[in-house]
Amino acid sequence: MTKVHLRLSLLFVATLALSGCASFTGDGGMSLVEDMTAARLGQQATALRSEDDAADAASRVKTLLAKPLTADTAVQIALLNNRDLQAAYNALGVAEARRVRASLPANPVVSLSRVSGGGGGGAFEIERQVAVNILSLATLPVRADIATDRFQQAQLQAVAETLRVAIETRQAWVQAVSARALANFLVQSQSSAEAAADLSKRLGESGAINKLDQARNQVFYAELTAQLGTARKRVETTKETLTRALGLWGDDLNFRLPSDLTALPSRPRVMATIEAQAVKQRIDLEIARLELAALSKSYGLSGATRFINLLEVAGISNKKQEAEGDAVTERGLGVEFQIPIFDLGEANVRESEQAYRQAVNRLIAKAVAVRSEARAAYHEYRAAYDIARHYQREVLPLRKIISD
């Protein structure tokens, strides 16, 4: 092979490899996360990529905390300030870097050596070698495609983490506000019970009521006092849970909550297609689908490379300097590969096949679980609504009568 032919071959290989190289996205993969989050939550997910972004987020959090905290405001603060969520966005950036790296061919290896002849005759030999991994170039498109699937998985995982933080924050807000409302109600009830107990004691001293009625009033007051202590403890516990979800500390802990929850809807939601919606919208199910697709492509890659584990083509230029002063240049082509004598690649194929079947079974199992979880969640929602409506219409009016 002449020097010109060698250069043209290497140039052709490099052009072929670089044609499929991926590049970094301008937003670090956050566009899909932002779109899906906005569609499901009505709020924007924000990745803090610099100190300026962090300072701007801190300023927005301060502004939101200046007013009593609503459920929507709490979710907005969590999306800006929850550091676990920001770590999930960092993981998305790592996945993007791996995708770009997987689309790049292996760097060529340049080898230079100089060997001098013995005996002081002045003869020496210079050998130059450029080695390119042909197998890596051949499998580059498939590996890049798999890395793209992994990147899409990371995007969906970031979406799932965003939704998880938002849901847990809203639940923590509801629990914190309801705990405060219950504690306030028990304070009023305890005050009335204390007055009733004091009155029954005075009436008992005058003989107007018997000791049994006195004891009942005293027990009622004592039980309310114990319930109030438990309620106050729950107020602190639920507030700390909400604080962790919001990512707050220091002076920001003095945020204000409303005194009561929003009004109960006049009628419950009817979801006849809850299973279909869950299968269509569950993020973890979509992640499992992408995992199956990536393993399917990996299985094909294992089958294609089962016999050749390493194949390198090296362009060799060897220059010899004879003792008499004449220089001789030798050029050629070297090939290096492993011979499958012991490991025929069967183990790799079997492993990939079983991993693929495992992913299929897990996807089916997850789809079944998603349907069941959706039904269970809706039944729990309806039961909670019916119980709340019963308390609103029956129990609370009766307790008010007793308290009066």
* pLDDT tens per residue across span 153-164: 889 999 999 999
Q: What average pLDDT score do residues 349-377 get?
A: 87
**Alpha-carbon gap, residue 392 to 388, rounded angstroms:** 6
Nearest alpha carbon to residue 47 among 59, 60, 57, 39: 57
Contact 331, 317 (CB under 8 A): yes
User: In angstroms, how far is CA 388 from the centroid of its own chain?
Assistant: 34
The answer to which of 92-101, 134-143, 232-241 has the lowest mean pLDDT is 134-143
Q: Report yes or no: 162 and 43 within 8 Å, Cβ to Cβ.
A: no
- Cα 54 from Cα 95, distance rounded (Å): 22
Mean pLDDT of 313-336: 57
The three-state secondary structure class of 141 is: helix
Model pLDDT, residue 78:
95
| Residue carrying the six token digits 């405060």 | 180
User: Which residues have a Cβ under 8 Å from the Cβ of 271 and sit 6 or more positions away?
Assistant: 277, 378
**Cα-Cα-Cα-Cα dihedral of 378, 384, 390, 391, to 10°?**
-160
Mean pLDDT of 130-148: 71
Alpha-carbon gap, residue 318 to 334, rounded angstroms: 12
End-to-end Cα, the chain, rounded Å: 105
49 band by pLDDT with thresholds 50, 70 and 90: confident
pLDDT computed for residue 373 by the predictor: 92
pLDDT at 340: 59
pLDDT at 69 over 80: yes
The partner residues of 65 in beta bridges, in order of sequence, read none
Name the β-bridge partners of 320.
Answer: 125, 328
Report the range of poorest mean pLDDT among 135-149, 224-238, 364-378: 135-149
Q: Is the pLDDT at 84 greater than 60, yes or no? A: yes
CA angle, 120 then 122 then 126, to 5°: 125
Averaged pLDDT for residues 219-229: 85
Helix (H) or strand (E) run with residue 321 in it: strand 311-321
Which residue do the tokens 């297609």 mark?
A: 273
pLDDT at 310: 46
Note the pLDDT tens digit of each residue in 255-273: 999 888 888 888 888 887 8
- Cβ proximity of 153 and 287 under 8 Å: yes
Q: What is the pLDDT of residue 75?
A: 95
- What pLDDT was estimated at residue 321? 55
Res. 233 pLDDT band, cuts 50 70 90: very high
Q: Give the pLDDT band of residue 4 (cuts 50, 70, 90).
A: very low
How far is it, in rounded angstroms, from Cα 234 to Cα 180?
A: 9
> Taking all residues of the chain, what is their mean pLDDT, rounded to a whole number?
79
Grouping H, G, I as helix, E, B as strand and the rest as coil, residue 109 is strand
Amino acid identity, residue 134? I
Residue 20's pLDDT band, with cuts at 50, 70 and 90, is: low
Count the Cβ atoms, other than its own, within 10 Å of residue 338. Answer: 11
Q: Can you tell me the distance from the alpha carbon of 82 to that of 75, in angstroms, rounded to the nearest whole number?
A: 10
Tokens of 382: 């309806």
> CA–CA separation, 92 vs 156, rounded Å?
9
pLDDT for residue 329 is more than 50: yes
Q: How many CA atoms lie within 13 A of 389 on its CB side?
A: 10
Check residue 129 and give its pLDDT. Answer: 61
Mean pLDDT of 216-240: 88
Higher pLDDT, 124 or 242: 242
Joined tokens for residue 134: 């042909």
Per-residue confidence band for 194, with pLDDT thresholds at 50, 70 and 90: confident
Task: Give me the pLDDT at residue 307, please.
Answer: 45
- CA-nearest of 139, 57, 151 to 97 is 151
Summarize the confidence of residues 205-218 as an average pLDDT. 78
Dig out the tokens for 322 from the structure: 């004879």
Whether residue 43 is predicted with pLDDT greater than 80 in this model: the reply is: yes
Average pLDDT of the residues in 215-230: 84
* Cα–Cα distance for residue pair 104/19, rounded to 1 Å: 10
pLDDT of residue 295: 79
